[in-house]
Amino acid sequence: MGSLGPDMGMGMGLGNKLQQKQLEQRSSSRFQMPLHYPRYSRADYETMPEWKLNCLLQEYGLPAIGGVDDKRKFAMGAFLWS
């Protein structure tokens, strides 16, 4: 039973770590719907500070690129209903 030796155990541990890292990378790049939907009005988005827009977009797995006006437009398009 001891024929596997320490090398086999270490190799499997490295494989598991690699698989976990790959899963984390995949899940961080996909859209993830949190349990709640943001309930901000158009006026809220128009006055929302950039750091809060960044947090909101990151929470939903959405890109936070461009200037603050670009982020506002993107957030309003993603979260406001017509």
Q: What are the backbone angles phi and psi of residue 65, rounded to the nearest 5°?
A: -115, 160
Domain boundaries, the chain: 1-30, 33-82
Q: Which two tokens stand for residue 2?
A: 């001891």
Residue-wise pLDDT for 15-69, tens only, equals: 677 666 666 655 555 666 666 788 899 999 999 999 999 999 998 889 989 999 9
Q: Is the pTM of this model over 0.85?
A: no
HEC string of 1-69?
Answer: CHHHHHHHHHHHHHHHHHHHHHHHHHHHCCCCCCCCCCCCCHHHHHHCCHHHHHHHHHHCCCCCCCCHH
Q: Which two tokens stand for residue 29?
A: 């790049």
Identity of residue 48? M
Q: Return d(Cα 61, Cα 64) in angstroms, integer.
A: 9
